[in-house]
């Protein structure tokens, strides 16, 4: 019955969007604006229906559906002499969520305060760094449930309520981002996807444990906000950047014995990156030091250790319409011996250095209306992997369809292996206006 309701809602949304598009196209939108004047507000958006189902049985829960939703996006923009206004909101009917819901991805004002200063305040999606689906210095929130269930890659980045200041100077430019209230990742809670619990020593889900994972957020105080900074400039075609972050781990990797639940421990990150042309392609190098401020000596078994992370990547078009990207990434846990000595489950702790290689293969055909993609993650020491094949077809300027899958394998206690029983295939159809 829920599936029928979702399909009906999708049809209603498609009809509404067609009506909005027709109204937008009318020459006589409003006589007050005149025949040759543009509308005061730009209106765009889309309607989308998406489904995804497991291809394997999951021992921890019944049912195969991991995604079944109808989504309507309304994208508004108003441009002024001194300020621009933006709104980007999704309205969705979700079989596995809370029924009809909203996801406001942008509601912000951008102010050109001076020739050397831009200000953007409000709800917005933020990103920086050089990695391709691998993040070192980008500590803005992510949505991992979307990433593993077949939503568009756009939804990997979650929004936050922030103020962003960008300063421009001859020597370098500076970005400062202040998020007054901590914005964690939308992490895997067991509701859609099962995962491995080191304390239980097995795969678990919300169904098998009696409820989704809940985490204790930092107290809602001004000192528990997040501050991120980037100093960047371009030198002879090469993009150089330094980064800093003060806040908390974005996932609840700590455990509070007093509360009996996961929580977020304090984190500071310092890093840098360089990206530029090399041998007909684009190369990038990035590094970061993760300073676990609540456990710098690595002896607290309930708090993550500090880490050094680094990344190298290269992307190039090998022949017409075919692009290949390669990355090598590593995480080096500091004080690893102390971690093993203090851990109640040392057999499930990560190795001292985790290696990860990624490949992106993309081919466009039929005048670029067909896009075939494969993104693959593989860890040689964990011997686990995540394959993301997809194919999309742009039926017209307005209609596009996408099919693909998430294929994970490995041992249950590895990063990707724990998700193996969540292997899924998905399908999306989108009408844009």
User: What is the tens place of the pLDDT at every residue in 247-283?
Assistant: 999 999 999 988 889 999 999 999 999 999 999 999 9
3-state secondary structure of 6: helix
What pLDDT is stored for residue 56 in this prediction?
87
Query: Could you tell me what percent of the chain has a pLDDT over 70?
Result: 91
Does residue 136 register a pLDDT over 60? yes
Measured CA to CA, the distance from residue 402 to residue 424 in angstroms comes to 14
Mean pLDDT of the chain: 90
| Alpha helices, H only, 186-258 | 206-209
What pLDDT is stored for residue 114 in this prediction?
84
235's CB contacts (< 8 A; 6+ apart) are none
3-state secondary structure of 396: coil
Six-digit token pair at 58? 């999951």
Is-contact 334 288, C-beta < 8 A? no
What pLDDT is stored for residue 11 in this prediction?
44
Residue with tokens 């990797």: 253
Compute the average pLDDT of residues 16-23. Answer: 42
Return the ∠ at Cα 423 (arms to 365 and 431), rounded to 5°.
45
Six-digit token pair at 209? 């444990």
Q: How confident is the model at residue 30 (pLDDT cuts 50, 70, 90)?
A: very low
DSSP 8-state class, residue 216: B
Six-digit token pair at 304? 């993550």
Compute the average pLDDT of residues 378-405. Answer: 97
Compute the average pLDDT of residues 299-324. Answer: 96
Six-digit token pair at 355? 């290696």
pTM of the model: 0.88
Six-digit token pair at 388? 């993301």
Compute the average pLDDT of residues 305-319. Answer: 97
3-state secondary structure of 153: helix
- What is the per-residue pLDDT across 208-246, written as a single tens digit (0 to 9) for each? 888 899 999 999 899 999 999 999 999 999 999 999 999
DSSP 8-state class, residue 260: T
Compute the average pLDDT of residues 356-371. Answer: 97
Does residue 118 register a pLDDT over 80? yes
Higher local confidence (pLDDT), 12 or 269: 269
DSSP 8-state class, residue 298: S
What pLDDT is stored for residue 39 in this prediction?
61
Q: How confident is the model at residue 375 (pLDDT cuts 50, 70, 90)?
A: very high
Class of the CATH-defined domain 2-432: mainly beta
Q: How do the domains of the chain map onto residue ranges? A: 2-432
Q: How confident is the model at residue 315 (pLDDT cuts 50, 70, 90)?
A: very high
Residue 347, CB-side half-sphere exposure with 13 Å CA sphere: 8
Smallest CA-to-CA distance from 73 within 127, 190, 154 is with 154
Is-contact 186 145, C-beta < 8 A? yes
What pLDDT is stored for residue 33 in this prediction?
40
Q: How confident is the model at residue 97 (pLDDT cuts 50, 70, 90)?
A: confident
Does residue 20 register a pLDDT over 50? no
Compute the average pLDDT of residues 367-374. Answer: 96
Six-digit token pair at 358? 């990624």
What pLDDT is stored for residue 368 in this prediction?
93
- What is the per-residue pLDDT across 173-212, written as a single tens digit (0 to 9) for each? 999 999 999 999 999 999 999 999 988 889 999 888 888 9
Does residue 7 register a pLDDT over 70? no
């Amino acid at each position: 019955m829920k599936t029928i309701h979702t399909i009906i809602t999708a049809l209603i949304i498609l009809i509404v969007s067609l009506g909005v598009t027709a109204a937008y196209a009318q020459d006589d939108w409003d006589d007050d604006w005149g025949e040759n004047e543009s509308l005061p507000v730009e209106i765009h958006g889309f309607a989308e229906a998406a489904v995804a189902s497991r291809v394997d049985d999951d021992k921890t829960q019944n049912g195969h559906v991991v995604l079944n939703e109808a989504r309507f996006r309304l994208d508004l923009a108003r441009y002024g002499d001194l300020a621009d206004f933006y709104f980007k909101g999704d309205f969705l009917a979700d079989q596995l969520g809370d029924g009809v819901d909203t996801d406001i991805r942008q509601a912000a004002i951008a102010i050109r305060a001076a020739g050397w200063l831009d200000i953007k305040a409000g709800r917005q999606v933020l990103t920086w760094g050089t990695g391709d689906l691998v993040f070192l210095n980008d500590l803005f929130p992510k949505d991992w449930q979307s990433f593993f269930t077949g939503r568009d890659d756009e939804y990997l980045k979650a929004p936050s309520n922030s103020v962003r200041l960008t300063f421009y100077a001859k020597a370098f430019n500076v970005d400062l981002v202040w998020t007054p209230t901590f914005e964690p990742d939308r992490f895997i809670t067991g509701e859609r996807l099962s995962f491995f619990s080191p304390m239980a020593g097995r795969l678990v889900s919300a169904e098998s444990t009696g409820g989704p994972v809940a985490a204790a957020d930092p107290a809602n105080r001004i000192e528990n906000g997040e501050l991120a900074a980037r100093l960047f400039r371009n030198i002879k075609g090469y993009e150089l950047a330094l980064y800093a972050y003060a806040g908390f781990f974005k996932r609840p990797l700590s455990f509070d014995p007093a509360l009996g639940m996961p929580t977020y421990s304090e984190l500071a990150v310092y890093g840098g990156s360089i990206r530029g042309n090399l041998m007909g392609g684009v190369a990038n190098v990035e590094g970061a030091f993760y300073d676990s401020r609540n456990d710098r000596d690595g002896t607290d078994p309930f708090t993550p250790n500090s880490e050094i992370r680094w990344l190298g990547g290269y992307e190039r078009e090998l022949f017409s319409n075919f692009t290949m990207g390669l990355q090598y990434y590593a995480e080096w846990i500091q004080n690893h011996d102390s971690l093993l000595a203090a851990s109640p489950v040392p057999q499930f702790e990560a190795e001292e250095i985790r290696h990860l290689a990624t490949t992106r293969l993309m081919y466009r055909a039929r005048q670029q209306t067909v896009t075939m993609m494969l993104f693959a993650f593989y860890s040689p020491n964990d011997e686990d992997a995540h394959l993301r094949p997809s194919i999309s077809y742009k039926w017209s300027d307005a209609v596009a369809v996408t099919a693909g899958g998430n294929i994970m394998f490995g041992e249950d206690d590895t990063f990707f292996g724990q998700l193996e029983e969540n292997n899924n295939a998905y399908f999306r159809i989108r009408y844009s206006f």
